[in-house]
Amino acid sequence: MIAKFIDFLGFVGLALRIQFTRLPPRDAFVTQFVDAGWGSLALLTMLTMFAGLNLSVQSYGSFERFGGQDLLGMFAGIGGVRELYPVMAAVVCGARIGANLAASLANMKISEQIEALEVMAVDPLRYLVAPRLWAVTLALPLLCGYANVVGLASSYVGAVYQLGLDPGSFITQVQEQVSLADLGTGMFKGLVMGWLVAVIACFHGYSVAKRDGAEGVGIATNLAIVHGAVMCIVVNLFLSWIIYG
């Protein structure tokens, strides 16, 4: 366990050096960025819509007990934008993206494609890892911002058209309690968690040995999903504590 963690720290150092010393190959970056961003939109839209609706419906009963239904907009805005939607985008889309990254790199490793790049004097880290790191790091903040918009719109629909709340009151509560800084914070969380998801997935995929075979690919994919999701939740906790106190 300790040895694996030390190997991960070493990989992080290599990843940072490769990512920030030279630009990644453009074609590889564009391909990975489209897959990470556009490829996650359908899943994120569906889940965020139901999450926004559920946030309104479930919290309405609690506020109704003390006549605070008009505070539903405040709760949906603060709870959704600051915490729920960025974490959902990072965990759900991060799991999908991380699985793809780990599986693709692991398959290349056991099929000796990475060794072939080394024989041709091509740095596999720059050619394979750097584009993936940049793509996910830049795509996930955009996904978090998109999740905020879809989630707030869904909460509005649930509050106004399902629960019968005054639309003006809901919008006023959101405008008063949710600032552009909150939206920016959600995107900043996406930036940090996107890089973590990418580097964890690349590490697990890249560390598979040829002798591990297909089983190694499955194990690497599973570890990428689990470790990425756990790290996103833990990092979100620390970022919220630092930013909001």
Percent composition of the chain: helix, strand, coil (DSSP 3-state, to 5): 90, 0, 10
Please give the model's pTM, rounded to 2 decimal places.
0.89
**Mean predicted confidence (pLDDT) in 105-119:** 86
pLDDT digits (tens, 9 = 90+) for 41-81: 999 999 999 998 888 888 777 777 776 677 778 888 888 88
Confidence of residue 184 (pLDDT cuts 50, 70, 90): confident
Would you say 77 and 176 are in contact if contact means Cβ atoms under 8 Å apart?
no
Report the pLDDT value the prediction gives residue 92, as an integer from 0 to 100: 85
Looking at residue 238, its amino acid is: F
C-alpha angle 200/94/141, rounded to 5°?
105
CATH topology of domain 25-40+74-150+169-244: Tetracycline Repressor; domain 2 (1.10.357)
Confidence of residue 112 (pLDDT cuts 50, 70, 90): confident
CA dihedral 18→19→23→24, nearest 10 degrees, is 90
How far is 159 from 69, CA to CA, in rounded Å?
A: 9
Report the pLDDT value the prediction gives residue 202, as an integer from 0 to 100: 93
Nearest to 69 by CA among 169, 149, 145, 150: 169
Report the pLDDT value the prediction gives residue 177, as an integer from 0 to 100: 82
Residue 216 has a CB neighbour count (10 Å cut-off) of 20
How far is 70 from 1, CA to CA, in rounded Å?
A: 51
Would you say 235 and 193 are in contact if contact means Cβ atoms under 8 Å apart?
yes
Domain ranges of the chain: 25-40+74-150+169-244
Confidence of residue 181 (pLDDT cuts 50, 70, 90): confident
Residue 34 has a CB neighbour count (10 Å cut-off) of 12
Report the pLDDT value the prediction gives residue 147, as an integer from 0 to 100: 92
Close Cβ partners of 57 (under 8 Å, ≥ 6 residues apart): 158, 162, 163
Residue 214 reports pLDDT greater than 90? no
C-alpha dist (Å) from residue 213 to 11, 119, 210: 22, 21, 6
Mean per-residue pLDDT of the chain? 87
Across 115-119, 185-189, 240-244, least confident range: 115-119
Report the pLDDT value the prediction gives residue 48, as an integer from 0 to 100: 92
Residue 1 reports pLDDT greater than 80? no
